[in-house]
Structure 1
Amino acid sequence: MVTGGAVPGYLTRKELIEINSEEKLLIKSLRDRQQYYDPDQEALRLGIGPATWPLFGLLWPSAIHLAARLAKRQVCPDKKVLEVGCGLGLASLVGHRRGLQVTASDCHPLAEKFLRENLRLNSLCSSLKYRHGQWGLEEPLTEEEAGRPVLTGRYDLIIGSDLLYEPDMPEALSAFINQHAKPEAEVWIVDQNRGYRPAFNRHMAAHGFKLFKDERLVDESCKRSGRRGYRGRLMKYRR
C-alpha cells in the first residue's frame, strides 16, 4: 500500500512493510531521494548536506533485514538495546513492539519526528527512547548543540544497518560502538557489501569484539526468480 502525503518542503509516502510472514508495519518515509528541506541549516550544521539529507528517511533493504532478524530474538526485558544510525528506526519499532528495552539514535534533525509518527501510525506506545548519536566527531556535541538529548550510557546489544558507506566509517563507527557497548556486549551490523567490511572487522577486533557470525543475506523473491537483487551480510560480534 502506498499513499502520498505532503509536508511544507518535502514529500512523504506511507507503505505497509512486511518484516516477516507474521509482522507488518505501516511506515511513513520520504517519497524519494530527491527530497531536501533545511531552511534553518540545522542539518548542515551537523554535517548533513543536500546529497545525504534524504538518506535517513528512505526505506533501505538492509533495515528490513535487520528488523527481521531482531523480530526473531528472544525477549530479555533487562537487556538494553541500541540502534545506531536508525534512520526511520524500523528495527527499533520492531524491538519496541516485542517488549525489548530499545533506544533509537541518529544524527538527522528529522529522525525523531518520523520515528514518533511511525509509532503513532502503528498504535505503539510512545515511550520508545530517542537520542542524538553521531560518530566521527573530535568532541561529542552538547545537548544544546544537538538540539535534543544526546546519547549516553552503555548497552548489551548494539544494532545498525547500511552504516559502512565511506572510507572513514569503519574506524569512526567501531570507536562509537566501543564507547556505548558494555564490557560484555553483542553487536549486529547489516552491510550491503560496500567494500568496507574487512576494515570494520579489524577495527572491531582492536576494541575486543570477535566476529562470530557472518551470514549472507539475499532477498527470497530474487533468489526464486534468479534476478540479481539485494546482496548483503549480517555480521555479529561479541566480547
Structure 2
Amino acid sequence: MLKSIPYKTKLRTIHIPGQAPLEIFTLLDKQQFYDPKGAAERLGICSAAWPLFGMLWPSGLQSPDHVAQYIHAHAQACSEVWVMDPNRGYRNRFTRKMSEYGFRLAEDKKIHRPYAFNNNDVPESYSGRFLHYQRDINPSLL
C-alpha cells in the first residue's frame, strides 16, 4: 500500500508559443515542508528555504530547449539561474540554448557529496553537476 505524502502539490501547465506545453508540479503553497529524518537539514536546507525548491518537474521528459525557453520567459534581464544537472547528456545543448537567451555559464562544478539519504538514512552519492548561469542584458532585448 502506498503511503500518503504529507505535502500537497498542484499540476501547472505552462504554454510556450510554438512548443508543446510544459507541465510541472509545484508545491501547493509556500508553507509546505517535509523532512522527517532531517536529511534536508543535514544538507543545509532549512524549512524556510523549501519554497525555493517548490518546483518538482520531470526534467527528463522535457527537452533542454523547453527548459531553457521557460527560464528565459520567466527570468529578469539581470538574473542568475542554478541548475542541478543529472548528467544525462544534455548539458552542452542546454548551455548553448541558454547562451542564445543571453545567459553565460558562470560555474560548472561536479557534485562530490551525498545529496540524498535512502530509507535506512544512509547517504547516497549524486553523479550530477551544479550549473550556475548569469544574465545581464538590456531589458529591451527581452
TM-score normalised by L of structure 1: 0.35
Is 2:97 aligned against 1:203? yes
Distance 1:208 1:169 in 2: 19
From 43, 46, 60, give the equivalent of 1:165.
60
Q: Which runs of 5+ in 1 are unaligned?
A: 1-5, 14-27, 31-41, 47-84, 86-105, 132-159, 222-227
**Equivalent runs, 1:148-159 vs 2, <5 Å:** none
Counterpart code for 2:24 = C
* Contact 1:214–1:233, Cα closer than 8 Å, also in 2: yes
Contact 1:217-1:231 within 8 A present in 2 as well: yes
**Deviation above 6 Å: which 4+ runs of structure 1?**
none
Equivalent residue runs for 1:25-64 within 5 Å: 28=6
CA deviation string 1:51-84 (max 9, x = no partner): xxxxxxxxxxxxxxxxxxxxxxxxxxxxxxxxxx
Cα distance, 1:107 vs. partner?
3.1
Which sections of structure 2, spanning at least 5 residues, go unmatched?
14-21, 37-45, 116-123, 136-142
TM-score (norm 2): 0.54
Task: Give % identity.
Answer: 26
Matches within 5 A, 1:40-189: 107-108=24-25, 111-112=27-28, 116-118=31-33, 164-166=59-61, 168-189=62-83
Match of 1:11 in 2: 3
The number of residues matched between the two structures is: 105
Match of 2:86 in 1: 192
Q: In the alignment, is the contact (CA less than 8 A) between 1:189 and 1:234 conserved in 2?
A: yes
1:231 aligns to what SS in structure 2?
A: coil
Taking the aligned partners of 1:186 and 1:194, their CA distance within structure 2 comes to 22
* CA shift digits 1:146-189 (9 cap, x unpaired): xxxxxxxxxxxxxx7886414x5210111111111111111100
Secondary structure of the residue that 1:212 maps to in structure 2? strand
Q: Whole-Å Cα distance in 2 between the matches of residues 178 and 217 of structure 1?
A: 25
Between the aligned partners of 1:162 and 1:217, the Cα distance in structure 2 is 21
Q: In the alignment, residue 207 of structure 1 is paired with which amino acid?
A: Y
Report the CA distance shift for 1:123/1:206 in structure 2 as closer, same or farther (over 3 A): closer
Alignment RMSD (CA, Å): 4.2
- Alignment CA distance shift 1:164-1:123 (3 Å): closer
1:234 Cα deviation (Å)?
A: 0.4
Determine the C-alpha separation between the residues in 1 that align with 2:129 and 2:105.
12
Measure the CA separation in 2 of the matches of 1:209 and 1:161: 23
